[in-house]
């Protein structure tokens, strides 16, 4: 196996998906699996589909194309507002997209007519994140234009929370999204099939037990992949946090224990972007750097500390016996680190437990196959 690499346990992805889909289905909410943090990796997408997501969602067309090339035929929704320059490709690859600009929607409509298709449009509403979204007071006007345009179909509305501004929505916010859905239906005379309530940051709201109103879908990436609630950073009950592991190879171990005054005329190490290494133990250098992942998003193994990182090197201090040159070290990743690692050209992805057991319920308990006679 090559280094650096990401190892992914697909059984854990299937388990996480099944767990969260089960809890949300019980609340009348279905799940779109978001694959952007794994660069649209087809096997990971399939694990999400095996776990019960009703469709996939991607932010980048190239990733969606990768899914299609691998033979995935389920509905794929583009969750980043399409580039006008890509309208034709968007219609070719994706059944639907999230939109905020009528110019882009008109481009999609023209492309759809040319391809004899109808492209689904979900209008993204601004509800406080201040990233993409139509202001609620402008929604009806745009929704009516979508209804009137041949080539596109108004499929629903959606909102996004805690992406640009890190706050999770409260029940009142979600209630106003439901009200907005009812209003638009009344005004446009069209049933809104999808009311998409947001991303992993909405799970605390969705699972809290109060009424979920018109919200019938969430778009989940981080919760499924990393088993965490992105706002609190805490583990979601019953989900795996360690489906992914980043593995890097040690290329140097040394004992530069004291500040080498003979090398540094200027002892202000902060200017050199490195920490003084007294107390760090042995310095270990790994063949991985900022070009491969977000180093600040790695959890280091116990007993080690981050000394610094450059584009291609990671330097850590280890207080126990240093690993040998040529050996591997393993790290857990946060969302940003995962996203960069899976998209980096020098990082390969290796799959564990690729095939779902024919009957997962029985496969987990080997004794189920034994019959008492």
Ligand X SMILES: *Cc1c(COP(=O)(O)O)cnc(C)c1O
Residues in contact with ligand X by the rule CB under 6 A: 34, 36, 59, 79, 160, 163, 199-200, 219-223, 230
Encoded tokens for 286 = 């790994």
- Specify burial of residue 344 (Cβ count, 10 A radius: 0-12, 13-18, 19+): middle
Which residue, 199 or 277, is less far from ligand X as judged by CB? Answer: 199
DSSP-based three-state secondary structure for 220:
strand
Rounded Cα distance between 328 and 250, Å, is 6
- 283 neighbors 307 (Cβ within 8 angstroms): yes
Which residue, 248 or 338, is less far from ligand X as judged by CB? Answer: 338
- Min dist. Cβ of residue 56 to ligand X (A): 11
Which residue, 163 or 344, is less far from ligand X as judged by CB? Answer: 163
Which residue, 125 or 307, is less far from ligand X as judged by CB? Answer: 125
- Min dist. Cβ of residue 132 to ligand X (A): 7
Encoded tokens for 234 = 């805490």
- 125 neighbors 180 (Cβ within 8 angstroms): yes
- Min dist. Cβ of residue 59 to ligand X (A): 5
Rounded Cα distance between 131 and 288, Å, is 32
DSSP 215: -
Helices 136-148 and 171-188, interaxial angle, to 10°?
40
Strands 30-34 and 217-220, by their bridges, are parallel
- Min dist. Cβ of residue 270 to ligand X (A): 34
- Min dist. Cβ of residue 57 to ligand X (A): 6
Rounded Cα distance between 23 and 362, Å, is 21
- Min dist. Cβ of residue 310 to ligand X (A): 28
Per the rule left: phi > 0, alpha: psi between -120 and 50, beta: everything else, 120 is beta
With CA atoms as reference, report the closest residue to 338 among 58, 8, 7, 37: 37
- Tokens 């501004």, located at residue: 165
Which residue, 149 or 220, is less far from ligand X as judged by CB? Answer: 220
Which residue, 133 or 317, is less far from ligand X as judged by CB? Answer: 133
Which residue, 233 or 326, is less far from ligand X as judged by CB? Answer: 233
For ligand X, which residue has the nearest CB? 221
Angle 282-287-292 from CA coordinates, rounded to 5°: 125
- 289 neighbors 309 (Cβ within 8 angstroms): yes
- Containing 308, the helix (H) or strand (E) segment is strand 304-309
- Min dist. Cβ of residue 131 to ligand X (A): 8
- Min dist. Cβ of residue 218 to ligand X (A): 8
Which residue, 234 or 278, is less far from ligand X as judged by CB? Answer: 234
């Amino acid at each position: 196996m090559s280094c650096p690499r990401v190892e992914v346990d697909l059984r854990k992805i299937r388990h996480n998906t099944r767990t969260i889909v089960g809890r949300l289905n019980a609340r009348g909410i279905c799940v779109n699996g978001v694959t952007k943090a794994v660069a649209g990796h087809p096997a990971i997408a399939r694990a999400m589909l095996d776990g019960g997501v009703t469709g996939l969602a991607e932010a980048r067309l190239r990733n969606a194309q990768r899914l299609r090339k691998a033979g995935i035929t389920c509905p794929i929704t583009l969750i980043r507002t399409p580039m006008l320059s890509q309208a034709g490709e968007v219609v070719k690859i994706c059944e639907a997209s999230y939109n905020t600009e009528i110019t882009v929607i008109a481009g999609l409509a023209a492309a759809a007519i040319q391809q004899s298709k109808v492209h689904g449009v979900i209008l993204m509403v601004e509800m406080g994140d201040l990233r993409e979204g139509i202001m609620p007071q402008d929604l009806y006007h745009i929704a009516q234009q979508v209804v009137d345009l041949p080539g596109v179909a108004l499929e629903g509305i959606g909102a996004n929370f805690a992406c640009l501004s890190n706050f999770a929505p409260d029940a009142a916010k979600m209630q106003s999204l439901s009200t907005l859905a009812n209003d638009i239906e009344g005004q446009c005379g069209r049933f809104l099939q999808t009311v998409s309530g947001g991303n992993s940051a909405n799970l605390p709201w969705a699972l809290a037990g109060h009424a979920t109103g018109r919200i019938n879908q969430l778009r989940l990436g981080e919760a499924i992949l990393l088993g965490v609630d992105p706002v609190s950073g805490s583990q979601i009950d019953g989900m795996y946090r360690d489906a992914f592991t980043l593995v890097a190879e040690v290329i140097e171990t040394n004992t530069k224990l004291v500040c080498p005054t003979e090398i540094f005329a200027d002892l202000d190490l902060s200017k050199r972007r490195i920490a003084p290494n007294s107390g760090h133990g042995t310095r270990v250098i790994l063949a991985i750097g900022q070009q491969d992942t977000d180093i600040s998003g790695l959890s280091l193994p116990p007993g080690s500390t981050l000394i610094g990182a450059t584009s291609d090197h990671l330097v850590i201090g280890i207080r126990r016996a240093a690993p040998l040159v040529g050996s591997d070290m393993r790290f857990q990743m946060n969302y940003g680190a995962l996203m960069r690692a899976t998209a980096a050209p020098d990082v390969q992805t290796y799959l564990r437990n690729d095939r779902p057991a024919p009957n997962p319920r029985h496969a987990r308990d080997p004794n189920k196959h034994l019959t008492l006679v």
